Amino acid sequence: MTSQLVADPLARQQEWRHHLHRHPETAFTEIATADYLGGILAGLGYDVEHGLGGTGLVASLRRGDGIRSIGLRADMDALPITEAPGRVHGSRNPGAMHACGHDGHLAMALGAAALLAAEGGFEGTVRFVLQPAEEPGRGAQAMIDDGLFERFPMDAIYGLHNLPGLPAGHIHLRAGGIMASEDNFTIVITGRGGHAARPEAVVDPLVIGAEIVIALQSVVARTISPVQPAVLSCTGFHTDGARNAIPTTVRITGDTRSFDPAVQALLEKRIREISAGVAAAHGAQAEVTYTHEFAPTVNDPGCADMAAAAARAVVGPDAVEADCEPIMPSEDFGVFGRHTSACFILIGNGASGEIGGTPLHSSDYDFNDAIMPTGSQVLAEIVRRELP
């Protein structure tokens, strides 16, 4: 296997990606995925360690006498989505699908690993961090809890994610926040239910809940500075009532997105205050549960400069935007940036209406094979510049 890949390091990239797409595994079940990836990386000459964070793995390759180490991270898990029929390399695991492109991210990482093993060009250690359970936002912390950075020290870590809607192979990144945090909330309003024909005898949590939902719409507009990105969305409204019965409880669910920990704290504070205040005004109670699901993804300025220079060397300056607008989706990669210098990069999967332009998390999404060599070359170039 190794000699074939040395002759053409990217020759089997599509084969790798299509195999991974056919055999998706969801969060913390990526056993066959990890075995497949580990076998390829071991065949390339990497030292492979399995079992970090449950099903994650780290593959390391050392060249020369350099003492620095650079990490390249790719995510392994699929989504619990049934894939639309008709694709030759479609999912063979019912109810699971690579609808976010993690199969492509892995194939780009394998391509970079093959390039670096075959061509070298660096002094030090490169580590491929293949992470489970990105989608629920639990895999990065699980690997860290298993001693990732103590057992495999890294001076910096980089990640790459495809972005439908961006022209194929174009690179976007920025210093500072590039992807938002995600916090979830649940508001449970307890009133007094009763017959729909006697509203004067009840404390109606439906009316109270509706008032809370409307009041929460003012939080971003009238509490958060207009120069601070933030989103507050109520996404569910559930009751225990019936057609002719006013309910006793209403449960409102939703999430918030932001980049600044101070904004996160302020969003939580206002949700709690508004919910309790509106409920109390009507003689009811409101209990708020607020959880932090994803950390914001924040790029180290020095790493962002390094990645931008590497990308320009691969695709040219016209295809690189080094100060892109941040986006509000979340990414588990942000947790790594709390432990070492980090940079997350976006690569265009295809403009809207073109190949690769289908939105992420859609049942008919597919990763664009044409961008894989570009992604692999950018990752390899980052390593060579970080470990000259």
Q: Which residues are known binding-site members for Mn(2+)?
A: 100, 102, 135, 161, 361
CA atoms of 96 and 235, how far apart (whole Å)? 24
Q: What is the CA radius of gyration of the chain?
A: 24
Of these residues, 134, 182, 183, 255, which one is catalytic?
Answer: 134
134 is catalytic: yes
Looking up tokens 């993690």, which residue turns up?
A: 102
Residue 373, CA distances (Å) to 22, 96, 151, 377 in order: 21, 26, 30, 6
Q: What sections of the chain are H helices per DSSP?
A: 2-7, 13-22, 31-43, 102-119, 139-145, 148-151, 205-222, 261-281, 301-315, 372-386
Which token pair is 201? Answer: 């005898």
CB atoms within 10 A of CB 50: 15
255 is catalytic: no
Residue 322: closest CA among 340, 342, 299: 299
Return the half-sphere exposure (C-beta side, CA atoms, 13 A cut-off) of residue 280. 7
Q: Residue 346 pairs with which residues in a beta bridge?
A: 161, 172
Of these residues, 25, 30, 75, 77, which one is catalytic?
Answer: 77
Sign of CA dihedral 227, 229, 234, 235: positive
CB atoms within 10 A of CB 128: 25
For residue 167, give the 3-state DSSP assignment. coil
Positions annotated as catalytic residues are 77, 134
